[in-house]
């Protein structure tokens, strides 16, 4: 069991021996992690380690099989407006415009709660415009998702997740389908949003370099069953730039994390494979 060194008074999310089973298969086991307020934590690991499942459990989209999840010291299990979720596949409604997609959840809540004041409605309208301006999409507010690029669609999805001012933003490989150049732009955008919105972010990715560049800490999950292998503090300044990826500190932590992923995944290194091929040719 590995726990992170966050002071209890600053803890936003606490995962206490979280476990998940599908039938007789244990997918997650004894996950213990504390995430501080306004902390950006990234999660990496080999395929099958349960990264996305863990995020869905925190969001309330999957049930726990064991343990507990605390938000601000209180147990949570169902979805709630204090947790926003961004998926890899955008999940936009194709029949709604950009601005309608961003406002959708707030409008749905307004219909369910007719007691909302006119002031709250106006505040929601103002926030939707402000978020689109922040995303550089205000001029595309009346466009439909099929008229946008992949990067634009993901920016709309992020704006929608931020609409309710969530305390925690959960991001499940949000840039996985984007090309390398667009990913670079999105990295700087999400760091800018993180600084401005001051949410706590849990970010799942397969890309170790992305995890290091964005995160204050990187959590490595090991598979079968999914469990925390190690947690790595990122020795970089809060203000990030692409040149940092070439520094010795960045390259060293990248090497360490990749070694842990290889060690826990059962995948052979290039040197192992070459050795085994050499042996079979004699």
CA distance 202 to 65: 21
- Calculate the average pLDDT of the chain: 87
Tens of pLDDT along 101-142?
A: 998 866 545 444 555 566 666 777 888 999 999 889 999 999
**141, 165, 189 - which closes a domain:** 165
**Where is the domain boundary, 112, 143, 165?**
165
Average pLDDT over residues 183-196: 91
- Residue of 160, 214, 225 lying closest to 188 (CA atoms): 214
Report d(CA 75, CA 55) in Å as an integer: 16
How many whole angstroms from its chain centre is CA 36?
15
| pLDDT computed for residue 4 by the predictor | 43
The pLDDT-based confidence of 10 (bands split at 50, 70, 90) is confident
Residue pair 257/220 in contact (Cβ under 8 Å)? The answer is: yes
**Co-location of 141 and 260 in the same domain:** no
**Average pLDDT of span 48-77:** 94
Do residue 144 and residue 282 come from a single domain?
A: no
Higher pLDDT pick, 23 / 107: 23
pLDDT tens readout for residues 161-177: 999 889 999 999 998 88
Q: From the CB of residue 277, how many other CB atoms can be counted at a distance below 10 Å? A: 9
- Domain encompassing residue 18: 1-82+167-282
Do 79 and 56 form a contact (C-beta atoms < 8 A)?
no
Q: What stretch of H or E contains 229?
A: strand 227-233
Residue 254: pLDDT over 80: yes
Where does a domain end: 146, 165, 184? 165
Could you tell me which residues come within 8 angstroms of residue 260 by beta carbon, excluding any fewer than 6 positions away?
A: 220, 229, 230
- 128 in the same domain as 114: yes
159 and 195, same domain (yes or no): no
* Whether residues 104 and 204 fall in one domain: no
pLDDT band, residue 271 (cuts 50/70/90) = low
Q: What is the pLDDT of residue 56?
A: 94
User: What are the φ and ψ backbone dihedral angles of 113, each rounded to 5 degrees?
Assistant: -125, 85
R_g of the chain, CA atoms, integer Å: 20
Report which DSSP code applies to 206. Answer: S
Q: Are residues 78 and 185 in the same domain?
A: yes
Lookup: tokens for 246: 């070439």
Confidence at 246, pLDDT banded by 50, 70, 90: very high
Residues 39 and 172 reside in one and the same domain: yes
The reply to whether 61 and 129 lie within a common domain is no
Confidence (pLDDT) at 7 = 40
Compute the distance between CA of residue 250 and CA of residue 213 in angstroms, rounded to an integer.
Answer: 8
Residues 156 and 191 in one domain: no
Structurally, how many domains does the chain consist of? 2
Judgement on whether residues 16 and 152 belong to the same structural domain of the protein: no
Q: Indicate if the pLDDT at residue 213 is higher than 70.
A: yes
Percent of the chain with pLDDT over 90: 63
**pLDDT at position 170:** 96
pLDDT at 274: 55
Report in angstroms the alpha-carbon separations of 38 from 27, 41, 120, 197. 28, 10, 26, 9
Same domain, 113 and 161: yes
* Domain containing residue 32: CATH number: 3.40.50.300
Query: What's phi and psi for 226, nearest 5 deg?
Result: -65, 130
Q: Are residues 125 and 250 in the same domain?
A: no
- CA angle at 45 for the pair 175 and 92, rounded to the nearest 5°: 30
Query: Given the structure tokens 């707030």, which residue do they identify?
Result: 106
The mean per-residue pLDDT over the stretch 73-90 comes to 89
Could you give the residue ranges of the DSSP H alpha helices within 33-179?
A: 51-59, 98-112, 118-134, 150-162
Strand partners, 168: 83, 200
DSSP one-letter code for 94: T
């Amino acid at each position: 069991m590995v726990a992170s060194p966050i002071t209890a008074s600053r803890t936003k999310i606490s995962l206490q021996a979280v476990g998940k089973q599908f039938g007789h298969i244990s997918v997650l086991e004894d996950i213990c992690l504390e995430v501080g307020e306004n902390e950006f934590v990234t999660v990496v690991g080999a395929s099958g380690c349960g990264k996305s499942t863990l995020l869905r459990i925190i969001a309330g989209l999957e049930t726990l099989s064991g343990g507990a999840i605390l938000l601000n010291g209180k147990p949570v299990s169902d979805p709630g407006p204090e947790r926003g979720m961004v998926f890899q596949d955008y999940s936009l409604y194709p029949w709604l415009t950009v601005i309608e997609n961003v406002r959708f959840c707030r409008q749905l809540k307004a219909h369910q709660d007719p007691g909302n004041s006119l002031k709250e409605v106006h505040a929601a309208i103002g926030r939707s415009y402000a978020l689109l301006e922040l995303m550089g999409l205000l001029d595309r507010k009346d466009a439909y998702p099929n008229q946008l690029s992949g990067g634009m669609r993901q920016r709309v999805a992020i704006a929608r997740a931020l609409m309710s001012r969530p305390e925690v933003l959960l991001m499940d490989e949000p840039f996985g389908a984007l090309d390398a150049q667009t990913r670079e732009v999105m990295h700087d955008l999400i760091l800018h949003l993180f600084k401005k919105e001051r949410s706590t972010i849990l970010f799942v990715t397969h890309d170790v370099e992305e995890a290091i560049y964005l995160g204050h800490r990187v959590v490595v999950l090991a598979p079968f069953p999914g469990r925390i292998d190690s947690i790595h503090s990122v020795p970089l300044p809060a203000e990030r730039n692409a040149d940092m990826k070439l520094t010795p500190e960045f390259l060293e932590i990248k090497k360490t994390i990749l070694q842990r992923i290889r060690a826990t995944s059962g995948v052979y290194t290039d040197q192992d494979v070459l050795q085994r091929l050499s042996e079979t040719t004699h």
